[in-house]
């Protein structure tokens, strides 16, 4: 498994500082926060980005995240798909192999919306496949559909594309209707990315992204998740993803060192020389 840190963990710091400081903390890979990269690229070039990654010897392996694709309509749908296609092109240019797409379905569930979602997922896979990329579908615990691991795995299987797989976010796994036995739906073929965090002393019905803490410091069964990842021979990226404003106050160098050390310990990986 490849340990990584999501840039959303240091949302308040500059893009370049994240990369340099995470690398200094011996993090080999980073999950790019797309809005942060896009803002930085307003004053920099793709070649600047490539040099930044190369000079710091850090791999941008995953990009997060794209929403609004599955059940949106009208102008909102056009804008979301336009942005999605531009982000796929950006990922291809920077050799970021996987883009996370959120199953953020908030409207009332109807047969029409179900059909629209199926068509959307098929098109998402096709667009990614044309560029030689993968899309990891992240189920959302507050979504009206695709809000649990079982359903997410079923819709991915129905599409049947090697370019569409699953993103397992520990927060949405814990706060939704998924059960730990549902981990059995994950295979080395359909799991494209894993995002870990933890929750402590918080009812899962009331938990929000701002309650996320470092994995291994709370009540989520991280050990059970990691045990299954090892059992299926998962060799992809596992990132720490915290959307906690308190964590944003920690300098990225310090945060990077702490979080990547914790993640390596959880995954049973040796510290780099």
- pLDDT (tens digit per residue) in 202-213: 888 888 888 999
pLDDT of residue 273: 61
Q: What is the pLDDT of residues 33-75, one digit of tens each?
A: 999 999 999 999 999 999 999 999 999 999 999 999 998 889 9
Q: Does domain 2-267 have CATH number 3.10.105.10?
A: no
Q: What percent of the chain has pLDDT over 70?
A: 100
Q: Which residues contact 84 (CB under 8 A, 6 or more apart)?
A: 66, 69, 101, 124, 127
pLDDT of residue 113: 80
pLDDT of residue 68: 94
Peptide bond into 226 cis (omega under 30): no
Q: What percent of the chain has pLDDT over 90?
A: 86
Say whether pLDDT at 136 is over 80: yes
The predicted model gives 67-88 an average pLDDT of 94
Say whether pLDDT at 107 is over 90: no
d(CA 214, CA 249): 15
pLDDT of residue 205: 84
Pairing of strands 29-33, 164-169: unpaired
> Model confidence at 201, in pLDDT bands (50, 70, 90)?
confident
Say whether pLDDT at 108 is over 90: no
Say whether pLDDT at 114 is over 90: no
Q: For residue 220, give Cα distances in angstroms to 15, 98, 173, 184, 203.
A: 30, 26, 9, 17, 11
The predicted model gives 140-149 an average pLDDT of 94
Q: What is the pLDDT of residues 251-261, one digit of tens each?
A: 999 999 999 99
Structure tokens at 8: 């959303």
């Amino acid at each position: 498994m490849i340990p990584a840190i999501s840039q959303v963990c240091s949302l308040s710091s500059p893009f370049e500082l994240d990369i340099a400081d995470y690398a200094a903390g011996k993090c080999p890979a980073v999950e790019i926060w797309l809005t942060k990269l896009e803002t930085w690229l307003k004053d920099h070039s793709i070649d600047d980005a490539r040099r930044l990654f190369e000079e710091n010897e850090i791999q941008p392996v995953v990009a997060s995240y794209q929403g609004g694709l599955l059940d949106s309509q009208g102008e909102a749908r056009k804008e979301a798909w336009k942005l999605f296609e531009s982000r796929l092109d950006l990922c291809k240019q920077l050799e970021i192999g996987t883009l996370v797409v959120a199953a953020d379905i908030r409207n009332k569930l109807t047969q029409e919306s179900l059909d629209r979602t199926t068509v959307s997922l098929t098109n998402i896979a096709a667009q990614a496949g044309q560029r030689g990329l993968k899309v990891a579908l992240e189920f959302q615990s507050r979504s009206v559909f695709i809000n649990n691991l079982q359903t997410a795995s079923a819709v991915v299987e129905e599409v049947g594309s090697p370019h569409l797989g699953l993103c397992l976010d520990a927060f949405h796994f814990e706060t939704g209707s998924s059960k730990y036995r549902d981990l059995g739906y994950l295979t080395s073929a359909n799991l494209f990315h894993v995002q870990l965090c933890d929750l402590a002393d918080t009812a899962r019905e009331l938990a929000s992204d701002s309650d996320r803490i470092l994995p291994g410091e709370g009540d989520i069964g991280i050990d059970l998740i990691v045990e299954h990842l090892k059992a299926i021979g998962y060799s992809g990226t596992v990132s720490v993803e915290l959307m906690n404003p308190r964590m944003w106050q920690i300098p990225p160098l310090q945060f990077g060192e702490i979080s990547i050390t914790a993640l390596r310990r959880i995954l049973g990986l040796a510290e780099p020389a």
